[in-house]
Amino acid sequence: MMVDRQRQPLPLAVILAFAAILIADRVIFHLFAGPLPDEAYYWLWGQHPDWSYFDHPPLQAWLQGLSTHLFGNTLFGLRAPGLLTSAVLMGCILWWVNKLREEGITLNRSEALLVTFASPLVFIFAEMVFNDHLLLALLAIASVFLRLTLDSVASTGRPALPALYGAALAAGLAMLTKYNAALFVLGVLPVLVMRPYRPLWRSPHFYLALVLALLCLVPIAIWNLQHAGASFQYNLVERESVSSIPDIIRSALTFVLGFLLALSPFLVAPLVRLISGRPPNSPWQIPAATIFLSDGRRTTGVCTTPRSRTASR
């Protein structure tokens, strides 16, 4: 999130009022709202541990199973993982605020958290225990470690190894949560051919980190081998097949409109500034824009679990 260096922060009373609304909504939902159909669907997966599942990879189901084992089959047990991942996401946002402050971009910590969690996309998917809450947290961790890795390569010609392997592990676990995490990885690749980061390709640790990320996907491969590639077939072919050019255009326009509304209309201007390169400028601005533009269609995809199926074992 980019902000004008000269803009005054919101009054504390305004920040507290909006924060109270968001927190109250979250508490009411977590403690009193009955399970949503997809939440119950993924809970069922957690009761039947397997290498992977038909719709999605298994990490969310494994976490869900652990949560209900620790806290019981209660609303708190169902949604406790969302509290953990929201805390992780908050920590990563604060890290980015501090990093941007070091670069001379003034940000208010409370405002950054408020704007992020007030975005419908983040607020809804961090609140509901679909696969997305875990995906958001893991990609946030991956982005922090990636920034540390690229900073080290740009300044010393060598990656910071804990950060490099941390980024690879977080990205691998994100792909073990939801297939479209691969779009984040694809978005990073164009960044790595930029001049400051090319020395990374000469490091053997870069390739070992890729192996680490791929090892995270072994459970998915095992399940698909056992089930004739059913999950790959569903997600790559059957789920969003289009048969004509008008269908493709309609799908693209629907995505763009849905994305802008879900992300928040108020964040459109900062995104335009990010992509266009207009000030304030940051060494991370070009990589961030590249990753954002590469992170394709399913960013705001509506969950479409096949209700006629039970959790595939």
Q: pTM (2 decimals)?
A: 0.82
The answer to the question of residue 243 being in a domain is no
User: Is 146 contained in some domain?
Assistant: yes
CA–CA distance, 301 with 204 (Å, rounded to integer):
36
Q: How confident is the model at residue 290 (pLDDT cuts 50, 70, 90)?
A: low
Q: 3-state class of 122 per DSSP?
A: helix
Residue 308 lies in a domain: no
The pLDDT value given to residue 293? 62
**Which tokens hold the place of 58?**
């298994």
Higher model confidence: residue 277 or residue 73? 73
pLDDT bin (cut points 50, 70, 90) of residue 254 is confident
**Domain contains 273:** yes
Determine which of 18-22, 169-173, 269-273, 289-293 has the lowest per-residue pLDDT on average.
Answer: 289-293
Is 80 exceeded by the pLDDT of residue 274?
no
Between residues 139 and 235, which one has the greater pLDDT? Answer: 139
In this prediction, residue 209 carries a pLDDT of 97
Tokens encoding 2 = 């980019």
Burial of 60 from C-beta contacts in 10 A (0-12 / 13-18 / 19+) = buried
* For residue 181, pLDDT beyond 50: yes
Assigned domain for 263 exists: yes
Residue 177: inside a domain: yes
- pLDDT tier at 220 (50, 70, 90 boundaries)? very high
Q: Is residue 9 part of a domain?
A: no
Q: 32-90: per-residue pLDDT in tens?
A: 888 999 999 999 999 999 999 998 999 999 999 999 999 999 999 999 999 999 999 99
The total domain count for the chain is 1
Q: What is the rounded distance in angstroms from the CA atom of residue 122 to the CA atom of residue 115?
A: 10
Tell me which of 240 and 258 has the higher pLDDT: 258
The answer to whether 95 and 144 have CB atoms below 8 angstroms apart is yes
Is residue 187 a part of any domain in this protein? yes
Tens-place pLDDT, residues 119-173: 888 888 888 899 999 999 999 999 999 999 999 999 999 999 999 999 999 999 9
pLDDT surpasses 50 at 275: yes
**What's the pLDDT score for residue 307?**
37
102 falls in which pLDDT band (50, 70, 90)? confident
Q: Which residues constitute the domain of residue 106?
A: 18-232+256-300
291 by Cβ neighbours in 10 Å (0-12 / 13-18 / 19+) ranks as buried
